[in-house]
Structure 1
Amino acid sequence: MEVVDILKKYSKSIDEEIKNSLISVDPDELQKSTLHLIEAGGKKIRPSLVVLSSEAVGGHAEEALKTAAAVELIHTFSLIHDDIMDKDDKRRGRPSVHVMWGEPMAILAGDTLFSKAFETVLQTEVDGVSYERVIEALKTVVDSCIKICEGQASDMCFEGNFDVSEDEYMNMIYKKTGALISAATRSGAIIGGGSPVQVETLTEYGRLIGLAFQIQDDYLDVISDEENLGKPVGSDIIEGKMTLMVVHTLSNASNKDKEELVSILKADKDTNVARAMELFEKYGSINYTHDIAHEHVENAKKLLETLEESEATFALAKIADYVLQRNK
């Protein structure tokens, strides 16, 4: 089974849960703005991870659907607010929510999705899941929201700071990207009734593939082509972003090369992307980034081997591989 088929398996049921949670939103303009990105599609990796993690510990898919929907609501909230902060005009091939409805309504749409996520997890009890499990899943979801905000704030604080250590960078991307993926696998395992060991195993699996997901993005920005990437190659360099490649190069470069790379990243226009790539290559940072992403995925797959083999664990292993196989 291909990853696209794995992700399609529950996407219709997850979409129904999402729409059920938003059907009561009023007025119409707020409801339309909350549904805008959801109706545009998306791969549904995070909610699928919730359901698969539940199944991997012997739970039933139906019981995990509301928590899966909640995770996708949080992901969508974060995208709407990211687009406002980054002034991005497009998302999933559509105009961003703030472009269509203005920033005030877009902020409210994000806030509504954020609030509805918690309400949706709490409604899991109607599916026969114990109150204790529901509260533990809710705690996990809430914690991921705090981490997303912390990660986003750290990312903003890193702008113009070229003394960021690798540990600081990894902590930032874990909070910004990995925390919600880890929350998806953890909450799924909790709802599915997993043992404490199974819950921790799937939490760590999610953390590792979440980190690999962002590191692979860093890698693709340099080695992909514009058609596959959907944006100019080296756009992270042009924007002066701190990526694993930049952090690794700056921590290993000579003073002269370090100064040159910093000046390239600080350039307002005519950014010398090609020279930055030469410096990455010189210090082995492109291969280093590639290897770290692969190492995280391999370690995630090894963790799955400690669980009882099933269709769900097979699917989770395929999703881990997909993190590295995607081209954008």
Structure 2
Amino acid sequence: MFNEEILSNMSKELEKYFEKDSNLYNASKHLLLAGGKRIRPYLSIMAYNLKKDDLETIMAPALSVELIHNYTLVHDDIMDNDDERRGKPTVHKVYGEPIAILAGDLLYAKAFEALSTIEDSVKAHKVLKVLSKACVEVCEGQTDDMEFEDKLPSMDQYMDMISKKTGALIEAPILIGAIMADCTEEETEALYQYSKRIGINFQIQDDILDLIGDQKTIGKPVGSDILSGKKTMMVIHALDTLSEDNKERLLQILGNENASSEEVAEAIKILGNSINYAKNLMNESTVEAKEFLKIFDENKRKPLEDIADFIVSRIK
């Protein structure tokens, strides 16, 4: 589904930002060049390709979002004290926390260095506003997610949180592509509505995969969100709809780091109807997202339609 030539060009361009041979630069590219789907810059390029096809013009703005995304991952791993990501030890485990923090900061700075290559000053200003807004929303969403550890959010609060924490860095690259491609207001709004829906789906998919996915696919033990007590859409829905007995049992297991694998499996079974609820919501959102793309050429919009399907395909 993904164009391998474009993916290869992305990796080559990313490497250019970290050519210095130092502990800091090696730490910064440790995770960045370890793989990953590169879905964010790819979305930017595909949005741009709806109207234009000059890859060189869109590449740096598109990669700015990938740099920001990796900055958030480095800092997330420090906050969560995670040992592994993308099959490799996390940055702070290899280089120590002080260098890892600085490595994240360097990734953040390099994102704006990438934006400085935009020659059109009007477009550069618009893109800067989009990316800086996304950075603010990621911080707000991450904070909300942390605070939900001590309380049960409403479904509206949860949706607002994931639209910031995860959705912001899905929306931003698509809007950047629209800006660079000179999309009209109508076209930009259509792309925004598309991006809102697939951004939310992206997080819901991750939460579902934690419950019913494969450990190799998700890179962590299945059910780890149960052990950590994460308030996902399924948990919120379940606590609103379960019988009192099942609700009480779920709460006994949720957040119990010493729960057995059998108890985790029991909790996942209790969440069964809520998992189906989340799946149905994602399917509806995918249909809506693709509907917004119908103002564009059928062939040119297909990669964005395929990505919308790809996001939900791993949980069918």
TM-score, normalisation: structure 1:
0.90
The number of residues matched between the two structures is 314
User: Partner of 1:316 in structure 2?
Assistant: 304
Q: CA deviation at 1:236?
A: 1.1
Residue 20 of structure 1: aligned partner = 16
2:204 aligned partner = 215
Tell me whether 1:231 sits opposite 2:227 in the alignment. no
1:99-138 map, 5 Å = 99-125=93-119, 130-138=120-128
Q: Distance in 1 between matches of 2:266 and 2:218?
A: 20
Instruction: Show the counterpart of 1:202.
Output: 191
Contact 1:73 1:116 in 2 (8 A): yes
1:50 and 2:39 are equivalent in the alignment: no
Identity of paired residues, percent?
42
Deviation at 1:213, TM superposition (A): 1.1
2:288 corresponds to which residue?
A: 299
Partner in structure 1 of residue 133 of structure 2: 143
State the match for 1:157 in structure 2. 147
Distance 1:28 1:228, change over 3 A: closer
Assess if the C-alpha contact under 8 Å between 1:63 and 1:192 holds in 2.
no
Report the Cα distance in structure 2 between the residues aligned to 1:244 and 1:21, rounded to whole angstroms. 38
**Structure 1 runs not aligned, ≥5 long:** none
1:191 has 2:185 as partner: no
Deviations 1:217-256 (A, max 9, x none): 1222222233444332222111111111001011223444
**CA distance in 2 between partners of 1:9 and 1:197 (Å):** 31
In structure 2, what is the equivalent of residue 253 of structure 1?
A: 242
1:39 aligned residue (22, 33, 43): 33
- Secondary structure at the aligned position of 2:116 is classed as helix
Q: Give the match for residue 242 of structure 1.
A: 231
The Cα of 1:59 is off from its aligned counterpart by 5.2
Moved over 6 A (4+): none
Alignment-mate amino acid for residue 295 of structure 1? E
- Indicate which of 265, 274, 299 corresponds to 1:274: 265
Q: CA deviation at 1:258?
A: 2.9
| Contact 2:230 2:255 (8 Å CA) reproduced | no
Matched, 1:30 2:24: yes
Residue 6 of structure 2 corresponds to 10
What is the aligned counterpart of 1:96 among 85, 90, 97? 90
* CA gap 1:210/1:39 in 2 versus in 1, 3 angstroms: same
Taking structure 2 as the reference length, the TM-score comes to: 0.94
Q: What do residues 159-178 of structure 1 show as CA deviations (whole Å, max 9, x unaligned)?
A: 0312x111111111111111
Instruction: Measure the CA separation in 2 of the matches of 1:204 and 1:316.
Output: 13
Give 3-state SS (helix, strand or coil) of 2:76's partner: helix
Aligned AA (1:70): S
In the alignment, structure 2 segments of 5+ residues that lack a partner are none
Displacement after TM superposition at 1:327 (Å)? 5.9
**RMSD over aligned Cα, in angstroms?**
1.8
State the shift of 1:87 in Å: 0.7
- TM-aligned CA deviation for residue 277 of structure 1: 2.3
User: Are the counterparts in 1 of residues 194 and 293 from structure 2 also a CA contact under 8 Å?
Assistant: yes
